[in-house]
Structure 1
């Protein structure tokens, strides 16, 4: 393979090059030239022992150090897909002390053992922050096979020591409801709903960006195995060797046999069904039916006992779709449903005693779905909480240590490496309406028109997939029978003061001209077609995905979109299925083969990075054509650096259940802690159970459906991007509830609250670029000294002022809320005051989400509007929540251009002095085209129960005209 040839030449040249002595020695020491080599931006150490022949440290900033450890002398690695930064000019010194070579900046010291090559990091006080474990580096050759032959790469692992009180966050967006990943196992392998980003951040204020694009595991590096691999199984009669598997048809037992594993995990595993029960998961279905048909009345039950010689915490993963329940020792531990074509994992742990049989029972109603139950033995105690990263395929161990004095500083360091978070257009922070899917041009326009007629706020509508002729996926062409004039559709939406984005996939039918063009330059993955794979439309069509790693293919992909759609003036692009998802139910080995060979190596080498490279091509292409129009991209997957592409990540095809609503909270929080500030989710859940969609609902089901949508809608309004989407039932507010009903009024009130908060929200948005801010914030970011917040997975800060506590339990009209220590809190709706540092049960009436405001906060709200471009010069109400000093800087810019990158923006500093009772409006800093010369500020104070707490148009304590110069307003 060409990589190896170039690496060998460079390795030979490196061995011939002279070794340079460092400029700075330790006190009273002469540094021998053989100790290390000084290179541009860092040093190279040659360890005496261990698996790495070279350890390189490079300075990327005062607190950011790159560590590269290679099994040979070659340090010339392929260019990073995630990291765009180069080694910095930050001054550093090097010295030796005994066994250690020390590289020191003003903020961080990295020490390398000359004997073992192990690295540790110290802060400016000399305290150790992070240290590689002795013997914790593993590098081993691995052979990777793809269509072009065998290739030799490295499997890598690094383990760092971790104190017992350390907490870990980030790692992307995962659907397990976990906030703190200490002691947890996370596999980074892109999938619909599950998004890996190889950044882990610590409560000790550092981050590790693991620069490897292959399948990666945080935590235990061992793969989970089937039950029989490490457990002793007995069936329901006590016989060794497996569990009793009972197959029912319409509650009649048809087949019963012993099975040593529960495994219908992938398409390949479906051959294991008993005769007469074989699933049909891969059959095409008619357009609009995203489910599968067949297998009605089928139920499978596995029961028996499990036993282990190893006492301790055993980990299990249930991979399932359809309805699945698991009981361990009589306790129900899993009760889930997922749409049949989109199974996923549900993790649970069980503390098992040694050498005692424990009852297990699994019930499954498959609905043509998939299932597998996997298990992992306990780790040794020393490894249980360690920080560990393992990758399947790579060239070397390559990671970046990012130190800071806060988690915000760590996120800023990550973006310094991988790119700043591009500021989205203002309209992106308004309300989004879509569905799966609008079938005609008229449906799209009429949706926006109906919102306008009802006076409900809306900024955006989305045309989802299948606007093209049935047999022309990838043509980027509208079906003229349903969309006779796409340009007029866009103009009609714009005339209604709204925006429209369009779904474009990296998927092509071989019959399209676009496929042929890409294939002609070597820009298509062909194995999917060669294997005879068919998708789910109509009779099923051959299809595959393009190779974005080939620059010419990436450029052609955008050109095809632009040539086909550019004249219509769409406002942004929905990049769906970018994992890429050739089929949701392929096993990983086959999926990897179908994702390559790529232009830069086997699919296994770049497994996780497709969504980044794809989005970057679209972003760069759009921006090159419209250099001063902010790009908007909605994408279903991500990778490190996605924030630089003007993209919003959404959480995929989650389902309409309460557990899934709860899991979106921590999924969004850890996305923010992975450096991506713009995140969204399908309000109400994308796929729904038949009890909601197959016909008229029962009164009981209708009540639950209404409440689930309202609670999810309330949560969605307090997330970075507010977006309603899903399968039938229709999700437009006026379809969820009739105007004039309490449900409609509650939905409308939540929308109006979101729009009243727009001055606050847009300031948070501006801060994502200007100050590397994070909008949706884990409590640990703002209250690092309060250990009680570290594991809280269902509360969060929305900017610096607001704390949200979404309701995610059916029928709940109250919920437990922890109020972080160090401040008092106000109920946004009532003004009721709560002391920090304790947990309380608070009211959670159906019509509103529990929202709390930090004492000292200055909360700006705007006039009532129906879209974000309305009343941009309107009055601003400043509500000061008394009890502590506070500050806020109100941000604004033109809203749709890249002028903010050129310095075209303004800030108004606001300062509240609690003891003096004075609010100061500081001198306005900066300007932008179209900026109002003056602003009306209405000022009010909250310091206790206030019936009019959210009446932002109610009487103000003071009203002032602000013309850009400092003003002091004393509280009456």
Structure 2
């Protein structure tokens, strides 16, 4: 007989089971009810509470539950509950759980798990079929092991957690918490989502978990020791790895410390466990794996159709065209995101959409959570109090809707359905979902404060529900479209949270700037998202803002960057071109730069040729918890040389991709180094510069003075740092620094400022740099001739409006400038790649066999991205197509990369509907026996309406100098597969 805590409390009364209840103050919360199966104790034959086992040992006491134990130690109540044989939920608080709503993230109902409970004088031990959990009787610290006794990780031995009662913003009782893990020295950590840096291994780093425009923060980490942790908390959070260990702090955690430990024998197994907890990733329509063309923005329906028609006329493959914002009106009126079409610029959207579909294209359209006041949608939301008071920063006549409310989601997506989806729009692009309110959400501290200003939502205060807005709003999109029909949902969202994969939402990295540095950040940032278990991610090919490349497409330096970015995008889960200001439709380069255009065409043709491989792998993502784009150590965790690889990644089971992330031919000058204290003197001769801060952006009220050894500020807000002297806010301040610069050598220097917002540089009393404007971080410099030892007066002025806060005084010395000029003359096409040990590798372009465990070098001219294939792989490839579903009956090239046995399951379905969930799909396995040199074709499993019954398979055995690259290879064998098993011997 299995009885939940809710039923127990109904029978016995809450006061009778205070040590077992995990509910709210007076009754079990619905969040507790959702996990009741994990906290059951059971009743005996007489209906009395059955304490399956209980012990008290001095200050340590415990009660056995059907799914684990509850311990009492040092004033902490700690539940250790199996959520499966390989998953453990850990929850610790002061005996009260203040949640009042179910988990937004964890949707799995825990199965009944058998486990053994043993103890000795120091340790309580829980053992399932897959895991061992040791509980220290001294303080409740946990150690997680596999069944062979190998330690995954352990909580800090003396301070496993810190729990403080709090009440943030008057939202009611909660906890400020921190928990700490002690890590192994050679352990590497991945995940936490996209952050604007080029790192990948999170060891020794700090990550602020607050959503921003260019920050997709997800509270999931995975370790090379083959475990993962999901924190089920939604407030502002901070991960830090330092001498204490790896810690996670949360500002407001009503349930206390609350995390899920997932252990496995592989990192793919960890991700699969995460998806069991939080939901599988449903299949996308096949065309979602083709190319997306997007721009901010196509101003009229005529222009949108013109671009679509030109793609088809120029025969440049494309599957989705995207209409960005303001198709509803302007950014100043009250029509903002009202799910309507401007009658002047989009007079006949139905005809426009029909034309798009006639071209075998799909249409994606942008929507925002901010809703204009003068729309039917706003009026209906307001009747139920489902918009928040603060006005959206772009349109001062729009406000954010309450996506935490089921009714709010229903109203919002009813209007999206009637105004967009029912008219033929194929997919929704949900912008600003972090959620941005009164600013463009660049800075974590600013955006956290901004989100909190929304007050309370349908579930509670935003201090508690700071981060998962994107999860609930994309959930609304998914549920509404599933209820409306059988067409697969595909949604693009600028933010994500744990569990987002179940809403069919792909995230992207926001409004990034075009630079080689940003391109490198996309490589590491993308796999930091997918490592969390959220498999679908994309980014703006070419960068959203193009400010560092005057002339855009006419600038050869930008064309080189765009080409390399496009090649990288061909190996993203979703391949998408997007940006503002400049035109970047690939066909434009056909006449501007024919070699570049051919490189773009080759990259997109390779993407489409790989669609059988990509689409079959997407089935593994849905059915087996696989990950398409992922960090290299996912497959090679024991090869420590892979742990910090941030410029390469794995794509599916076979491919290792090494994007080119630096200029090879057209090298642009970069900002100089920060000027050191040794070259700066204050007016009284001390090292550094003397500064003063002011309230107001125009030196209005003088405040504190400082002496800065160097001028290199980012001004994070408390608690990350203290306010500058005299300031109580980091919005709307200004500052001035004065002193002298001491020249270390003769020659012409470049002296400049890099900052956000406004800055000026005076040299010897002359204003040499003047950019007194609000705006994102940028660099401006000036040339100054100096003699060695010369002292020249300098003054720097700065103002800060809102959002990002940065200022840096930089230089290039004469020697550095000469070295830069010489470097610019050198053209080096060589790219080095580390090939992981434990496998041999083939160069995709030449078929050359390379040994693993070494760094290899190859030339990468503009038309080639370094690409390697793991020995023991099967890669199915299709023909070049104009759209993903153009040739369903086309022959398939089966490339076999020998050296080991290999398997690959080819997957097919109707490409468009959820019939696959009803069993309407087909699969067959290809198996390579390396010793026997035989390829086995398995019997087809399943079928679906419209299935191609017979397909020509052109089988190619890859060897050096043969079967390499983009072009179709002469087959070694040709067979017609009709669904029956067979074999081909070589």
- The 2-side partners of 1:827 and 1:120 are apart by 43
Partner of 2:72: 46
Is the Cα contact below 8 Å between 2:956 and 2:971 reproduced in 1?
yes
Tell whether 2:369 aligns with 1:506. yes
Deviation at 1:509, TM superposition (A): 2.5
SS at match of 2:27: helix
Partner of 2:688: none
SS at match of 1:98: coil
Tell whether 2:273 aligns with 1:413. yes
Could you tell me which of 109, 119, 127 is aligned with 1:86? 109
Deviation at 1:950, TM superposition (A): 2.7
Q: Normalised by the size of structure 2, how large is the TM-score?
A: 0.76
- The 2-side partners of 1:412 and 1:954 are apart by 36
Q: Residues 81-131 of structure 1, C-alpha deviation per residue, up to 9 Å, x if partnerless?
A: 111112221222223322433222111122333442222212111333221
Partner of 1:10: 27
Tell whether 2:326 aligns with 1:455. no
Could you tell me which of 144, 147, 156 is aligned with 1:121? 144
Is the Cα contact below 8 Å between 1:474 and 1:514 reproduced in 2?
no
SS at match of 2:618: helix
CA separation of 1:596 and 1:209: change in aligned 2, threshold 3 A: same
Partner of 2:706: none
Is the Cα contact below 8 Å between 1:67 and 1:398 reproduced in 2?
yes
Deviation at 1:943, TM superposition (A): 1.7
The 5 Å alignment of 1:435-454 reads 435-454=295-314
Structure 1 residues not aligned, in runs of 5+: 221-378
Q: Residues 738-768 of structure 1, C-alpha deviation per residue, up to 9 Å, x if partnerless?
A: 2881111111111111111111011111111
SS at match of 1:393: coil
Is the Cα contact below 8 Å between 1:20 and 1:38 reproduced in 2?
no
- The 2-side partners of 1:68 and 1:39 are apart by 14
SS at match of 2:248: strand
Is the Cα contact below 8 Å between 1:179 and 1:792 reproduced in 2?
yes
CA separation of 1:11 and 1:488: change in aligned 2, threshold 3 A: closer
- The 2-side partners of 1:501 and 1:109 are apart by 48
The 5 Å alignment of 1:311-460 reads 381=243, 383=244, 386-395=245-254, 396-460=256-320
CA separation of 1:42 and 1:75: change in aligned 2, threshold 3 A: farther
- The 2-side partners of 1:58 and 1:595 are apart by 35
SS at match of 2:162: strand
- The 2-side partners of 1:169 and 1:208 are apart by 11
Is the Cα contact below 8 Å between 1:434 and 1:725 reproduced in 2?
yes
Partner of 2:354: 491
Q: Normalised by the size of structure 1, how large is the TM-score?
A: 0.77
Greater shift after overlay, 156-165 or 558-567? Answer: 558-567
Is the Cα contact below 8 Å between 2:69 and 2:80 reproduced in 1?
yes
SS at match of 1:141: strand
Partner of 2:190: 169
Is the Cα contact below 8 Å between 1:19 and 1:33 reproduced in 2?
no
Cα RMSD after superposing both structures: 2.6
Deviation at 1:589, TM superposition (A): 5.9
- The 2-side partners of 1:691 and 1:745 are apart by 22
Partner of 2:897: 881
Tell whether 2:485 aligns with 1:630. no
Could you tell me which of 367, 374, 398 is aligned with 1:543? 398
- The 2-side partners of 1:917 and 1:163 are apart by 42
Deviation at 1:210, TM superposition (A): 0.6
Could you tell me which of 569, 586, 590 is aligned with 1:716? 569
Partner of 1:187: 208
Tell whether 2:648 aligns with 1:795. yes
Partner of 1:616: 475
CA separation of 1:590 and 1:216: change in aligned 2, threshold 3 A: closer
SS at match of 1:960: strand
- The 1-side partners of 2:943 and 2:845 are apart by 34
Partner of 2:976: 961
CA separation of 1:75 and 1:88: change in aligned 2, threshold 3 A: farther
Q: Residues 360-400 of structure 1, C-alpha deviation per residue, up to 9 Å, x if partnerless?
A: xxxxxxxxxxxxxxxxxxx5x4x2xx221111111111100
- The 1-side partners of 2:572 and 2:434 are apart by 24
Could you tell me which of 55, 61, 74 is aligned with 2:78? 55
Greater shift after overlay, 500-509 or 583-592? Answer: 583-592
Partner of 1:219: 240
Could you tell me which of 928, 935, 941 is aligned with 1:925? 941
Q: Residues 228-270 of structure 1, C-alpha deviation per residue, up to 9 Å, x if partnerless?
A: xxxxxxxxxxxxxxxxxxxxxxxxxxxxxxxxxxxxxxxxxxx
Is the Cα contact below 8 Å between 1:20 and 1:33 reproduced in 2?
no
Deviation at 1:502, TM superposition (A): 0.8
- The 2-side partners of 1:7 and 1:802 are apart by 50
CA separation of 1:185 and 1:125: change in aligned 2, threshold 3 A: same
Partner of 1:742: 595
CA separation of 1:40 and 1:692: change in aligned 2, threshold 3 A: farther
Deviation at 1:35, TM superposition (A): 4.0
Q: Residues 692-737 of structure 1, C-alpha deviation per residue, up to 9 Å, x if partnerless?
A: 35x895xxxx111110000000000011111111112212111244
Q: Residues 54-107 of structure 1, C-alpha deviation per residue, up to 9 Å, x if partnerless?
A: 111221111101011011244876411111112221222223322433222111
CA separation of 1:746 and 1:208: change in aligned 2, threshold 3 A: same
SS at match of 2:24: helix
- The 1-side partners of 2:549 and 2:965 are apart by 37
Deviation at 1:206, TM superposition (A): 0.6
Could you tell me which of 562, 568, 584 is aligned with 2:440? 584
Partner of 2:614: 761
Partner of 1:466: 326
Q: Residues 195-253 of structure 1, C-alpha deviation per residue, up to 9 Å, x if partnerless?
A: 11101111111111011001111116xxxxxxxxxxxxxxxxxxxxxxxxxxxxxxxxx
Is the Cα contact below 8 Å between 1:176 and 1:663 reproduced in 2?
yes
- The 1-side partners of 2:100 and 2:122 are apart by 28
- The 1-side partners of 2:50 and 2:196 are apart by 50
Deviation at 1:820, TM superposition (A): 0.9
Q: Residues 604-633 of structure 1, C-alpha deviation per residue, up to 9 Å, x if partnerless?
A: 11111000001001110111011x210010
- The 1-side partners of 2:174 and 2:977 are apart by 64
Deviation at 1:477, TM superposition (A): 1.2
Q: Residues 14-59 of structure 1, C-alpha deviation per residue, up to 9 Å, x if partnerless?
A: 99x9874336x9xxx9999994334453322222x1x52x111221
- The 2-side partners of 1:71 and 1:423 are apart by 42
Is the Cα contact below 8 Å between 2:22 and 2:96 reproduced in 1?
no
Q: Residues 855-903 of structure 1, C-alpha deviation per residue, up to 9 Å, x if partnerless?
A: 1211111122111111111101111123222221111111111122222
Deviation at 1:556, TM superposition (A): 1.0
Tell whether 2:372 aligns with 1:516. no
Could you tell me which of 159, 184, 192 is aligned with 1:135? 159
CA separation of 1:662 and 1:76: change in aligned 2, threshold 3 A: closer
SS at match of 2:903: strand
CA separation of 1:128 and 1:589: change in aligned 2, threshold 3 A: closer
Partner of 1:565: 420
Is the Cα contact below 8 Å between 1:879 and 1:942 reproduced in 2?
yes
Partner of 1:234: none
Tell whether 2:627 aligns with 1:774. yes
CA separation of 1:74 and 1:478: change in aligned 2, threshold 3 A: closer
Is the Cα contact below 8 Å between 2:51 and 2:65 reproduced in 1?
no
SS at match of 1:503: strand
- The 2-side partners of 1:150 and 1:940 are apart by 65
- The 2-side partners of 1:520 and 1:807 are apart by 54
Higher relative contact order, structure no. (Cα contacts within 8 Å, ≥ 6 residues apart): 1
Could you tell me which of 949, 958, 962 is aligned with 2:964? 949
CA separation of 1:126 and 1:690: change in aligned 2, threshold 3 A: closer
Q: Residues 818-869 of structure 1, C-alpha deviation per residue, up to 9 Å, x if partnerless?
A: 0111222111112222211101221111111111111121111112211111
Partner of 1:205: 226
Q: Residues 298-348 of structure 1, C-alpha deviation per residue, up to 9 Å, x if partnerless?
A: xxxxxxxxxxxxxxxxxxxxxxxxxxxxxxxxxxxxxxxxxxxxxxxxxxx
Could you tell me which of 188, 193, 196 is aligned with 2:217? 196
Is the Cα contact below 8 Å between 2:377 and 2:411 reproduced in 1?
no
Tell whether 2:503 aligns with 1:648. no
Q: Residues 660-699 of structure 1, C-alpha deviation per residue, up to 9 Å, x if partnerless?
A: 0000001111111100111111000111116435x895xx
Deviation at 1:188, TM superposition (A): 0.8
